[in-house]
């Protein structure tokens, strides 16, 4: 089995549109799984510079797959103990939900493998 490691990562400024309204963080945080390949997400790490709770949402084909809440001026590391297969042709994307009008920076690092 030959596998490849992939990451969606970086530090991005954000502007909140409401805690119940996830919006894309940045166009770089999008991954298209090629046909004939199986993708698995292994962990998420995140940091939040603002003074409010924010939530990073892992989306598969536009549907939320996991939620990662990050506290005010805090960080999380979530090893995804239950790993699912994401089939070729799917789109994986990170969204962010934050209180309306809230500004700050978010640090994201999503680790995946493909084989």
Partner 1 sequence: MTGVVERPQAKPQAKPQAGPQSRTGGPAARRRLVVIGNGMAGARAVEEILARGGAEQFSITMFGDEPYGNYNRIMLSHVLSGEESDADIFLNALSWYRENNITLHAGVRVDRIDRFTKYVYSDDGRATPYDVLIIATGSRSHLPPMDGLYTPGGSIKPGVFGFRTIDDTRKMVQHAQQEHHRRVVVIGGGLLGLEAAYGLQSHGIEVEVVHSGGHLMSAQMGPDGGAVLRRSVEALGIRVHTGSRTTAVLGTDRVSGVSLRDKPDIACDMVVVAAGIRPNVDVAVLSGLPVERAIVVDDRLRVQDEEDIYAVGECVQHRGEVYGLVAPLWEQAVVLANHVTGADTSSAYLGSRTATKLKVAGVEVASMGLHGPELDTDEHIVFSEPSRGVFKSIVVRDNKMVGATLLGDSRKVAYLTQAYDRGLPLPEERIGLMFDLGTPGEDVGVAELDDDAQVCNCNGVSKKALVDVVKDGCNTVGGAMDATRAGKGCGSCKLLVKQVVEWAADGAVEEDPAASYYVPGIPLDKPSLMAAIRKQGLRSVSQVFTALAPGSAEDAKSKMGLASLLKMMLADQYIDERDARFINDRVHANIQRDGTFSVVPQMKGGVTSVQQLRRIADVAEKHNVPMIKLTGGQRIDLLGIPKEDLPQVWADLDMPSGYAYGKSFRTVKTCVGQDFCRYGTGDSTKLGIDIESRFQGIESPAKLKLAVSGCPRNCAESLVKDVGVVAVEGGRWEIYVGGAAGAHIRKGDLLATVDNPEAVKLLTGRFMQYYRERANWLERTYAFVPRVGIEHLRAVIVEDSEDLAESLDAAMQASVDDYVDPWSERDDQLTPGQFRTSLPLTVLPQVPVR
Smallest separation, CB 100 to partner 1 (Å) = 31
**For partner 1, which is the closer residue by CB, 19 or 65?**
65
Q: Which is nearer to partner 1, 12 or 43 (CB)?
A: 43
Nearest distance from C-beta of residue 67 to partner 1, angstroms: 14
DSSP state string for 21-66:
EEEE--TTSEEEPPTT--EEEEEEEEEE-SSS-EEEEEEETTEEEE
CA–CA gap between residue 33 and residue 2 (Å, rounded)? 16
Question: Can you tell me the distance from the alpha carbon of 6 to that of 18, in angstroms, rounded to the nearest whole number?
Answer: 30
- Report the nearest approach of partner 1 to the CB of residue 113 (Å): 7
Residue 95: other Cβ atoms inside 10 A: 18
Based on CB atoms, which residue is closest to partner 1, 47 or 111?
111
Q: Report, in Å, the least distance between residue 75 CB and partner 1.
A: 16
The H or E element containing residue 44 is: strand 39-48
- Site residues (vs partner 1, CB under 8 A): 1-3, 5, 35-38, 40, 42-43, 79-83, 85, 87-89, 113, 115
Shorter beta-carbon distance to partner 1: residue 30 or 38: 38
């Amino acid at each position: 089995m030959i596998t490849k490691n992939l990451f969606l990562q970086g530090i991005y400024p954000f502007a909140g549109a409401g805690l119940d309204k996830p919006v894309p963080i940045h166009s770089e945080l999008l991954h298209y799984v090629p046909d004939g390949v199986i993708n698995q997400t292994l962990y998420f790490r995140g940091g939040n510079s603002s003074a409010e709770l924010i939530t990073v949402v892992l989306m598969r084909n536009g549907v939320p797959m996991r939620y990662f809440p990050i506290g005010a001026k805090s960080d999380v590391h979530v090893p995804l103990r239950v790993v699912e297969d994401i089939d070729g042709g799917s789109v994986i994307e990170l969204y962010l939900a934050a209180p309306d009008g809230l500004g700050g920076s978010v640090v994201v690092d999503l680790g995946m493998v493909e084989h």
